[in-house]
A and B are shown apart, each in its own frame.
Chain A
Amino acid sequence: MDNWVIVMMLSGSLFLGGIALFAFMWGVKNGQFDDEEKYLNATKFDTQEDLNDAIEKERKKEELRKKVYKPE
Chain B
Amino acid sequence: MSNKINCSHCHLEFSKDVMIEDNEHYFCCNGCQGVFHLLSDEGLDSFYDKTADVKLSPPTEQYEDSANFNAPAFYDKFVKVNGDGFSEVSLIIEGIHCSACIWLNEKALDKMDGIIEANINFTNNKANIQWVDSVVKLSQIIDMIRAIGYNAYPYDASLQEVHANRERKDYYLRMAVAIFASMNIMWIAVAQYAGFFSGMTQELKTILNIAEGILATPVLFYSGWVFFRGSYYGIKNRVVNMDLLVATGASLTYIYSLYITIIEYGEAYFDSVSMIITFVLIGKFLEVISKKNAADTLDIIGKHLPSEVNIVRDEKIISVKLEDVSIGDTIVVSSGEKILFDGLIVKGDGSFDESSLTGESEPIYKQEGENVISGTISIDADIHFNATRDFEHSTLSNLVSLLESAINKKPKIEQLANKLSEHFSTVVLLLSIATFFVWWLWPHSFEESLMVSISVIVIACPCALGLATPVATLVGLNLGAKKGILFKEAAQLETMAKVDVLLVDKTGTLTVGKPEVVKETLYKSFDIRLLYSLVKSSNHPISKGIFNYLNQKDNVSNEIVFDEFTQISARGIVAKYNSHVVIGGNLQLMLDNNIKCSFISDETLFFFAIDNELVGVYELSDKVKDGAKELVLNLKEKGIETIMLTGDHDKSAQKIANEIGIENFNSELSPQDKLSFVENLQKEEKVIVMVGDGVNDILALARADIGIVMGSGSDIAVDVSDVVLLNNSLESLLSAFKISNTTFKLIKQNFAISLVYNAITIPLAMSGYVIPLIAALSMSFSSLLVVGNSIRIKYKWKRG
Residues on A facing B (Cβ under 8 Å) = 3, 6-7, 10-11, 14, 17, 21, 24-25, 28-29, 31, 34-38, 41, 44-45, 49, 53, 57, 60-61, 64-65, 67-69
Look across to chain B and name the residue whose beta carbon is closest to the beta carbon of A24.
B176
Residues on B facing A (Cβ under 8 Å) = 46, 50, 84-86, 99, 102-103, 107, 110, 114, 116-117, 119-123, 132, 134-135, 169, 172-173, 176-177, 180, 184, 188, 201, 203-204, 207-208, 211, 214-215
Asked if A37 and B211 make an inter-chain contact with CB atoms under 8 angstroms apart, the answer reads: no
Asked if B211 and A3 make an inter-chain contact with CB atoms under 8 angstroms apart, the answer reads: no
A35→B121 CA distance, assembly (Å): 6
**Of A7, A37, A41, A64, which contacts B207 at CB under 8 A?**
A7
**Distance in Å from the Cβ of B122 to the closest Cβ of chain A?**
4
A24→B173 CA distance, assembly (Å): 9
New contact pairs (4) apart from A35-B123, A38-B121, A53-B110, CB-CB < 8 Å:
A3-B207, A10-B207, A37-B99, A45-B99
Asked if B207 and A68 make an inter-chain contact with CB atoms under 8 angstroms apart, the answer reads: no
Q: Please judge, given known A-B contacts A10-B188, A61-B117, whether A29 and B173 are in contact too, CB under 8 Å.
A: yes
Asked if A6 and B169 make an inter-chain contact with CB atoms under 8 angstroms apart, the answer reads: no
Look across to chain A and name the residue whose beta carbon is closest to the beta carbon of B204.
A3
The 10 closest A-B pairs by CB, nearest first: A37-B122, A41-B99, A68-B85, A38-B122, A35-B121, A21-B180, A10-B211, A64-B132, A35-B122, A61-B116
A47→B135 CA distance, assembly (Å): 30
Write out the residue numbers on chain B whose beta carbons fall within 8 Å of the beta carbon of A65.
Answer: 84, 116
Write out the residue numbers on chain B whose beta carbons fall within 8 Å of the beta carbon of A7.
Answer: 207
A17→B218 CA distance, assembly (Å): 14
Write out the residue numbers on chain B whose beta carbons fall within 8 Å of the beta carbon of A3.
Answer: 201, 203-204, 207
Look across to chain B and name the residue whose beta carbon is closest to the beta carbon of A20.
B180
Prevailing SS type, chain A contact patch: helix
Asked if B204 and A6 make an inter-chain contact with CB atoms under 8 angstroms apart, the answer reads: yes
A64→B133 CA distance, assembly (Å): 11
**Of A21, A53, A61, which contacts B177 at CB under 8 A?**
A21
A37→B85 CA distance, assembly (Å): 31
Asked if A57 and B114 make an inter-chain contact with CB atoms under 8 angstroms apart, the answer reads: no
Asked if B173 and A41 make an inter-chain contact with CB atoms under 8 angstroms apart, the answer reads: no
**Of B121, B172, B184, which contacts A28 at CB under 8 A?**
B172
Write out the residue numbers on chain B whose beta carbons fall within 8 Å of the beta carbon of A44.
Answer: 50, 99
Asked if A14 and B121 make an inter-chain contact with CB atoms under 8 angstroms apart, the answer reads: no
Look across to chain A and name the residue whose beta carbon is closest to the beta carbon of B174.
A25
Asked if A17 and B184 make an inter-chain contact with CB atoms under 8 angstroms apart, the answer reads: yes
A28→B203 CA distance, assembly (Å): 39
Look across to chain B and name the residue whose beta carbon is closest to the beta carbon of A54.
B110
Look across to chain A and name the residue whose beta carbon is closest to the beta carbon of B215.
A14
Write out the residue numbers on chain A whose beta carbons fall within 8 Å of the beta carbon of B122.
Answer: 35, 37-38, 41
Write out the residue numbers on chain A whose beta carbons fall within 8 Å of the beta carbon of B50.
Answer: 44-45
**Of A11, A28, A64, which contacts B114 at CB under 8 A?**
A64
Write out the residue numbers on chain A whose beta carbons fall within 8 Å of the beta carbon of B172.
Answer: 28
Look across to chain A and name the residue whose beta carbon is closest to the beta carbon of B107.
A53
A10→B207 CA distance, assembly (Å): 9
20 contacts between A and B (CB under 8 A): A6-B207, A14-B214, A21-B177, A25-B173, A29-B169, A35-B122, A38-B122, A41-B122, A44-B50, A61-B116, A64-B114, A64-B116, A65-B84, A67-B135, A68-B84, A68-B86, A68-B132, A68-B134, A69-B84, A69-B85
Look across to chain A and name the residue whose beta carbon is closest to the beta carbon of B110.
A57
Look across to chain B and name the residue whose beta carbon is closest to the beta carbon of A11.
B211
**Distance in Å from the Cβ of B448 to the closest Cβ of chain A?**
28
A68→B123 CA distance, assembly (Å): 32
Look across to chain A and name the residue whose beta carbon is closest to the beta carbon of B119.
A31
Write out the residue numbers on chain B whose beta carbons fall within 8 Å of the beta carbon of A68.
Answer: 84-86, 132, 134
Write out the residue numbers on chain A whose beta carbons fall within 8 Å of the beta carbon of B103.
Answer: 45
Write out the residue numbers on chain A whose beta carbons fall within 8 Å of the beta carbon of B46.
Answer: 49
A40→B117 CA distance, assembly (Å): 21
Write out the residue numbers on chain B whose beta carbons fall within 8 Å of the beta carbon of A69.
Answer: 84-85
A68→B86 CA distance, assembly (Å): 8
Look across to chain A and name the residue whose beta carbon is closest to the beta carbon of B126.
A35
A57→B118 CA distance, assembly (Å): 11
**Of A25, A37, A61, which contacts B176 at CB under 8 A?**
A25
Look across to chain A and name the residue whose beta carbon is closest to the beta carbon of B188.
A10
A32→B169 CA distance, assembly (Å): 12
**Distance in Å from the Cβ of A11 to the closest Cβ of chain B?**
8
A53→B103 CA distance, assembly (Å): 12
A6→B119 CA distance, assembly (Å): 47
Asked if B123 and A28 make an inter-chain contact with CB atoms under 8 angstroms apart, the answer reads: no
**Distance in Å from the Cβ of A10 to the closest Cβ of chain B?**
5
Write out the residue numbers on chain B whose beta carbons fall within 8 Å of the beta carbon of A45.
Answer: 50, 99, 103
A24→B174 CA distance, assembly (Å): 12
